[in-house]
A and B are shown apart, each in its own frame.
Chain A
Amino acid sequence: MTKEEPVVAGIDLGSTYTKAAVLARDRVVGTGITPTIVDLDAAAADALGEALQAAGMSRSDLDMTVSTGYGRRGVDIADHQVDEIYAKARAAKWLGSPWGPVRTVIDIGGQDSKVIRLDEAGDMDTFLMNTKCAAGTGRFLEQMAKVLGVPLEELGEIGEGAEHPVELSSTCIVMAESEVISLIAQRRPVKDIVAGIHRSVAERVGNMVKQIGVEEVVFFDGGPARNVGVKKALEEFRGAELYVPKNPQVSAAIGAAIVARDILREGKLPDGKPLEGIEAENPIDHWEGPPAGGGGQ
């Protein structure tokens, strides 16, 4: 256990962006974002470098670094790894909301979407993740924006004030694409099409929320959280107001940093193993050694 608050970092290696956050004195003192490239170590170093620079610190100031995201197992600069569902849950508890403690986390990511429910103490109680398909993910929005020829960032505003939102019958990205194209050919207003797209995403995610049961406060996270259209559609669909954190993109990185802090505070890894002696290894696999080739081939 350290007496002073440690300086910790979290790195989230997502499919499109690598994000980093540095925490000191229980505050986020710097963040960094960079596109994920094939060389994961370089991407991690870049994002972390940016975050450290913003904090006015250097790597030697860091007491511990934890990585998360799909690429978490591929980087050397992290001391430990944690899955991003757990990282998100930790971040949501720590970041909280102005409306009270967070009980439900809705996270729409680039490749997947997840819903996490927290218990009264703010610990992860249960979670649900979409199946292996791009429906209801950021990817879906991205692709639809491309088909419509509008910038992704503007998608949210474009859909506002739609009077007759279209109904997309397909959730599959490929099918929805041709559906949208035929809607354009029918000269349906872009506004209505966009609103329909938002609705489709909201329905997909909303159904997951329904399965888990929504409890307020609902924390809405991930890139598409910045899209007002999706947010509104989801609010309509679920009947609950969503709280969007200030910087939804880096919350997993913040969560990973919190996990690093937890580890130092408790002297234990997230899976309950003591910290000493096994530091160099993957905490998850410490009894088997790191699996060769990452399990899949």
Chain B
Amino acid sequence: MPKLFGRKRPNIRDAAAAEVPDTRPSAPRYRWKGGEDEERLDELSRIIVGRAKELIDHYQEQMRKAPSRPEAMAWFDERARFLSSPRIGEIEEHKANGGKVIGTMCVFAPLELIRAADAIPVRLCSGLHNTIATGEELMADAGLCPMVKSTLGVKMTHASPFFEASDAVIVPMVCDGKFKLGEVLQDFMEVWMVNVPHIKDTQQARSMWLDEVRALQQQIETLTGNRIYWEELKREIQLSLRAQTVARRLYDLRKADPPVINGRDSLLVNQTPHTEDLSVWVEHATVLAQELEQRVRDGIAVSDPEAPRIMLAGAPIMWPNFKIPQLIEESGGSIVADELCSGTRWLYDPIGIDEWIWDDMFQAMAERYLQPSVCPCFTPNDPRIGRIKQMIEDFRVEGVVYHVLRGCHIYNGESTRVKQSAEDRGVPMLIIETEYSQEDTEQLRTRVEAFLMLVRARRKKAAKAKRRAFKTIDGSEGGDGA
């Protein structure tokens, strides 16, 4: 691989296009009939966008109700407004200047490579409910995870400007849903499938993964016409490290007791980089971190300081589908930690570089996506359970809410073991199985409210036991429990 230091990058389209084989698929093989009725698609897209706006309004209104919401959230709010986000204009401009956009799903696309080739990565996993019916026209499996069908529906209806702007999409083969999704999507756009090994810590898996990332590099270079050199890769790795540092700061700030930021806000902050310019995100996240640090010093709670401390675990929750976190927090819980792939999971284990030489850099960057990942698509997945246990301790979690998207078998399959290990630490866990629609909200509310009662009861019991123990040692009355 050539290593050019500080040389102006030649455009391989004109210069050495032959060097990089074109691996793009040929024209669509199957046609979707519904795609020919443009009027209907326009109508659908209008409805979907309108509904997304309603949802965003609703949840943002609820989130603003926190008695003392951090001021720095304003920027994140603005950026989360979907169609009216200023980000769309920025992306349009980038494209007008010949720039490329590359869609990603899950947390396995090498973002540093994409950015190093001057392309914009956008995560396309969708949280919209009313695109599912359209998605089902091509993936009719009633037992399939709603995220997969929803994401497909978004493409079919052309509802998302981010999806429409994407020149290609990187789809990791993590679960049945995702890999068939990639297949179907191929009839609509360029799709790069990535083989994610399910057993990840063997030598074979490591070298296969490196090859996969190398192949992606080629595809990215071919699409953008930009070769990726040492300088750009280093620059982008450093940017990722900066982002992870501030994300880590925000993560640590959630350990504060009383909490200084709501779980919903935190989740939104962690999802903003899905579409935003990471360097701009770093600026605003830093401002937020500073504000929160001040709050910790001043002891300002964002909401009820006595609220049960809840950890959100399980299947992804994608903005604007904040049904579950909204339910937990409006029922009086405080989400102090999450381990969602749409939450804090992206910042686990920063890229560790010993020496800034190409091979080391490339390898460290690639491995960062595989080794620290605790998605349930890996086996054995004890590191995930270990991580959850650690988080329970670090964040003083009193109850775990485990979100299962109906049809996500890999998350569901791990739920019992996670539950057992949480219970082993005396922390109860509530498993919520749901879909994207809102119709089960009231049924879920009953469970969530009862669960919060249970957490409070356990807290009381623990305090009583402590007092009793104190009494017997001391002979005195003991302090007052929480």
Interface residue ranges, A against B (CB under 8 Å)? 70, 82-86, 111-112, 119, 121, 123-127, 129, 131-132, 270-273, 284-285, 287-289, 291-297
The reply on B215 being an interface residue by CB < 8 A is: no
- Taking the closest CB of chain B, its distance from the CB of A113, in whole angstroms, is 12
Q: Which of A82, A121, A124 has the most CB of B within 10 A?
A: A124
Instruction: State which of B54, B332, B449 has its C-beta within 8 Å of the C-beta of A297.
Output: B54
Residues B428 and A126 in contact, CB atoms below 8 Å apart: yes
CA distance A295 to B303 in the complex (A): 19
Residue of B nearest to A292 (CB): B61
- Taking the closest CB of chain B, its distance from the CB of A107, in whole angstroms, is 12
Residues A70 and B442 in contact, CB atoms below 8 Å apart: yes
Residues B454 and A124 in contact, CB atoms below 8 Å apart: yes
On chain A, the residues within 8 Å of B441 by CB distance are 294-296
What 4 A-B pairs come out closest when comparing CB atoms?
A85-B450, A296-B441, A83-B449, A296-B438
Residue of A nearest to B55 (CB): A297
- Chain B interface, DSSP helix/strand/loop, else mixed: helix
Given A86-B449, A132-B433, 17 extra CB contacts under 8 A: A83-B445, A84-B446, A85-B446, A85-B447, A86-B453, A112-B443, A121-B461, A123-B457, A270-B456, A271-B452, A287-B332, A288-B330, A292-B58, A292-B61, A295-B441, A297-B54, A297-B58
CA distance A272 to B54 in the complex (A): 34
The reply on B327 being an interface residue by CB < 8 A is: yes
- Taking the closest CB of chain A, its distance from the CB of B323, in whole angstroms, is 8
Interface residue ranges, B against A (CB under 8 Å)? 54, 58, 61-62, 65-67, 303-304, 306-307, 326-327, 329-332, 428, 433-434, 438-443, 445-447, 449-454, 456-457, 460-461
Given A297-B54, A297-B438: A284 and B454 interface contact (C-beta under 8 Å): no
Given A132-B434, A287-B303, A295-B445: A270 and B330 interface contact (C-beta under 8 Å): no
On chain A, the residues within 8 Å of B58 by CB distance are 292-293, 297
Instruction: State which of A112, A271, A285, A291 has its C-beta within 8 Å of the C-beta of B453.
Output: A271
On chain B, the residues within 8 Å of A273 by CB distance are 306
Residues A272 and B306 in contact, CB atoms below 8 Å apart: yes
On chain B, the residues within 8 Å of A123 by CB distance are 457, 461
Residue of A nearest to B304 (CB): A287
- Taking the closest CB of chain B, its distance from the CB of A32, in whole angstroms, is 23
CA distance A43 to B304 in the complex (A): 34
Residue of A nearest to B58 (CB): A297
Residues A83 and B453 in contact, CB atoms below 8 Å apart: yes
- Taking the closest CB of chain A, its distance from the CB of B441, in whole angstroms, is 4
On chain B, the residues within 8 Å of A292 by CB distance are 58, 61-62
- Taking the closest CB of chain B, its distance from the CB of A260, in whole angstroms, is 15
Instruction: State which of A70, A270, A287, A291 has its C-beta within 8 Å of the C-beta of B446.
Output: A70
Residues A125 and B456 in contact, CB atoms below 8 Å apart: no
Q: Which of B304, B445, B452 has the most CB of A within 10 A?
A: B445
Residues A296 and B446 in contact, CB atoms below 8 Å apart: no
Residues B447 and A271 in contact, CB atoms below 8 Å apart: no
On chain B, the residues within 8 Å of A82 by CB distance are 449, 453
Q: Which of B54, B434, B441, B449 has the most CB of A within 10 A?
A: B449
Residues B62 and A288 in contact, CB atoms below 8 Å apart: yes
CA distance A284 to B450 in the complex (A): 11
Residues A291 and B442 in contact, CB atoms below 8 Å apart: no
Residues A291 and B450 in contact, CB atoms below 8 Å apart: no
Residues B453 and A288 in contact, CB atoms below 8 Å apart: no
Residue of B nearest to A126 (CB): B428
- Taking the closest CB of chain A, its distance from the CB of B316, in whole angstroms, is 19
